[in-house]
Amino acid sequence: MQVSDIVVDTGQAQYPIRFVAGAAAAAAAVDRAAPRGRLIVISDSHVAPRYLQPLLDGLHALGRNARGLTFAAGEASKTIETVTRLWSEVFADAVDRNDTIVALGGGVAGDMAGFVAATTMRGIRFVQVPTTMLAMSDAAIGGKTGINVPAGKNLVGAFHQPAAVICWTDTLESLDRRELASGMAEVIKSAIIAGPSEVQRFREAATAAMERDHGALRVCAEIGARLKASLVSEDVLERGVRSYLNLGHTFGHAIEHASGYGAWTHGEAVAAGMVIAARYSVSRGHAQAPFVDEVRELCQLVGLPIEPPPMSLDEWLGPIFRDKKRVGESVKLILATGPGGVFGQPTSFEELRDWMARELATS
């Protein structure tokens, strides 16, 4: 480990989150994390044209046997059909247990490549090379992998911890404004969970980060990465405090589902979901009304939506009823008293249905 690394330590696995700039540095970090066997770099059709060949060239320069596989970009590709094709391409070259799958891209690439790694020969080495704010600050850390099925998002998957998370930070400078803002939703979520000091750090960095200032971008990525590493180290299987990372996500996933996984980005849906979670927290007496205004202000700093799209009650409740956090006739909502005061609370579907009906009628 390097002194500047953020470290995830689950007790059974320890790995670094390393921030690097440039293809050569990214390749060297991958080489260090996976020092033997062949490397299979899985990327999507959006990231691959810009970054796949430079990473492969860097690995080849180090004498590594590395090849790339791609799939169509977008949440719609997170299907068993895409995974089946990737399995076929992985096994076409006689993969063995010394080989490593490298995820190059955002959250979708990490979910897909990680799931392929988790299920290939019951699990082979896996390295994350995130290229988006969402992935660097959240999705690439913690070993969650998965795909979507008709019943809902990420309902089929596995925990498979990476050997390292290599944050290739200069890739952030090429993100379009909407994609960067979408990733910032996870940074905002992390800052709220961590507490007032991290909320203030985000406020101070947000404007410069949206103007592609490299230092400010790294600050934002580190806010998320440090919080995620801490919670994963404490609760690797999401049975306790790690579930706090779902702040805004129960409502956000319903928005994504209703919009067909496309019209709204994940981060946009989570931003609106965090505002709804804050409103619900206030309605139940856990937080004061200014907390809702604070969440809205943080989202607006980076241009994220603060209200959901028009949705029927059934569109809200269907995905929530199928949520992974469902237990019997209740769902575990992540609520807050304010920054640093996040907690989980089982909430009956009846209670939530009544509240959503009133909120939808008055929104």
Query: Which domains are assigned to the chain?
Result: 6-174 (3.40.50.1970), 178-362 (1.20.1090.10)
Residue 53 has a pLDDT of: 98
Residue 235 has a pLDDT of: 93
Locate tokens 């260090």: which residue?
32
CA distance 256 to 233: 29
Q: Order of strands across the sheet with 66-71?
A: 6-9, 14-20, 164-168, 125-130, 100-105, 39-44, 66-71
The backbone torsions φ and ψ at residue 83, rounded to the nearest 5 degrees and listed phi first, read -60, -40
Percentage of the chain beyond pLDDT 90 is 85
Instruction: Give the chain's residues under pLDDT 50.
Output: 3
Q: Which residues are catalytic?
A: 122, 144, 186, 228, 238, 242, 246, 249, 253, 266
Q: Under a CB-based contact definition with an 8 Å cutoff, are residues 357 and 313 in contact?
A: yes
Give me the amino acid identity at 135.
A
Model confidence over 73-92: pLDDT tens digits? Answer: 988 899 999 999 999 999 99
CA distance 253 to 256: 5
Helix 313-321 to helix 349-362 angle, to the nearest 10 degrees? 150
